[in-house]
Amino acid sequence: MISMGYNKGSSLITFLLALTLFSAILLVFQKWSEQQTKQAQITYQRYQAIQIAENQKQRQMFGLGCQSKIEMNGLQFRVHCQNNQISVTYPMGEIAW
């Protein structure tokens, strides 16, 4: 009987250890996934800002004025043109072109 109780306790401890290990792995994966999503958002917004800066450069070449505020895909981009320098500020950063 003593060994039978020991086996039940051992299997409970093993189960709890496995559950803890699984939870830790799941939390690490979730954190990694959040970081990947954030990095993808930063990359996407930067790409959009570069497109806007290139567009403003083309507008300057054709003698058109610089647009100060642009909304693209639900995001607000602020554009500042000074001489040949163009800077675009977006929710997750800023670029200078």
Tens of pLDDT, residues 41-84 = 999 999 999 999 999 999 999 999 999 999 999 999 999 999 88
Q: Is residue 6 part of a domain?
A: no
- What pLDDT is stored for residue 10 in this prediction? 77
Q: Phi then psi for 91, rounded to 5 degrees?
A: -55, -30
Q: Is residue 58 part of a domain?
A: yes
Q: Is residue 1 part of a domain?
A: no
Q: Is residue 24 part of a domain?
A: yes
Q: Is residue 55 part of a domain?
A: yes
Bridge pairing between strands 69-72 and 93-96: unpaired
**How far is Cα 70 from Cα 49, in angstroms, rounded to an integer?**
10
Read off the pTM: 0.72
Q: What confidence tier does 97 reach under pLDDT thresholds 50, 70, 90?
A: confident
Q: 36 is in which domain, residue-wise?
A: 14-96
Q: Is residue 82 part of a domain?
A: yes
For residue 91, the SS3 value is coil
How close are the terminal C-alpha atoms of the chain, in Å? 78
Q: Is residue 8 part of a domain?
A: no
Q: Is residue 27 part of a domain?
A: yes
**How far is Cα 31 from Cα 18, in angstroms, rounded to an integer?**
20
Give the total number of structural domains in the chain: 1
For residue 89, the SS3 value is strand
